[in-house]
Amino acid sequence: MLQIENISFSYGKRRAEVFHDFSLSFEPGHIYGLLGKNGTGKSTLLYLICGLLRPTSGSVTFDGKDVKLRLPEVLQDIFLVPEEFELPNVTMETYVKLNAPFYPRFDAAILQRCLEAFELPATLNLGSLSMGQKKKAFMSFALATRTRLLIMDEPTNGLDIPSKSIFRKIVAQHISDEQAVIISTHQVRDVEMLLDHVVMIEGSLVLLNRSMSEISAAVRCEQRSMSESLEDALYVQPSLAGNAVLVPNTNPDDETPVNLELLFCCAESGSLPESLK
């Protein structure tokens, strides 16, 4: 679906490159987690994918069409929910009338279900909402577009704890096998049960690009007391309750939930097992 081939990009001739000869691909039927430290290029990559930024070399194509051309047939199949955005001072009904016609698979029933799940009225005025309410309303519209590529940058920022749970549920319920979702976030615990594929980047380096099932088959996350051995640990994160450790999974049939925070720290330290590199 989405092919990023050998791209390079910088924010000016005198600025260091954010990406150099960087390649990656995304396929439908997956919910991807895009992870990385601050300043490693996650948001830049999302804007390059949407054609809002243009690579200095290389290409980003969606179904074989270059996204930098911003062709209507490409844009109507991609939707971006940025980390920060403004909504016009209009009702949701007016917003839908103005914007929904651009998306041929827009589903008003999905919009209604999502708004109800977030306990938002369909008659709401977008200009009078709090930050968290704007997030809920805009993400509801985004899911209703049913674009084949849905991109969300820090979608859980500004959401309270119950709303984060609702967010996971409505994404899982309303994404089909024909769609791909890319979620860029630092709040990994908010989404780790939702993702089925993880991509970790550090600038032009791809530290990890694996499915959650591959990760679970390769490593185990365990909690150990301070007195237990750490000889087999790939990465150790001390806490008051003991040590959270990532170890090789010697029994791939016995999978444990993936702790993405622990996994990310392990990948950044270069200690991942060869099966995940």
> What pLDDT score was predicted for residue 99?
97
Q: What is the pLDDT of residues 208-259, one digit of tens each?
A: 999 999 999 999 998 899 888 999 999 999 988 889 999 999 887 777 788 9
The arrangement of secondary structure in 2-203, i.e. its CATH architecture, is 3-Layer(aba) Sandwich (3.40)
Helices (H) and strands (E) in the chain, counts: 9, 13
From residue 132, alpha-carbon distances to 99, 126, 136 in Å are 21, 12, 6
Counting other chains too, the contacts that 66-71 makes at CB distance below 8 Å and 24 or more residues apart are: none
**Beta carbons within 10 angstroms of residue 39's beta carbon:** 11
Estimate the share of the chain in helix, then strand, then coil, as percent rounded to the nearest 5.
35, 30, 40
> What pLDDT score was predicted for residue 187?
87
Helix (H, G, I), strand (E, B) or coil at 75: helix
37: its two tokens: 């430290």
> What pLDDT score was predicted for residue 203?
82
Q: Where do the domains of the chain lie?
A: 2-203, 211-276
For the chain of 277 residues, list the mean pLDDT of each consecutive stretch of 10: 95 86 95 90 93 95 95 96 92 96 96 95 90 93 97 93 94 94 92 93 91 92 90 90 90 82 91 87
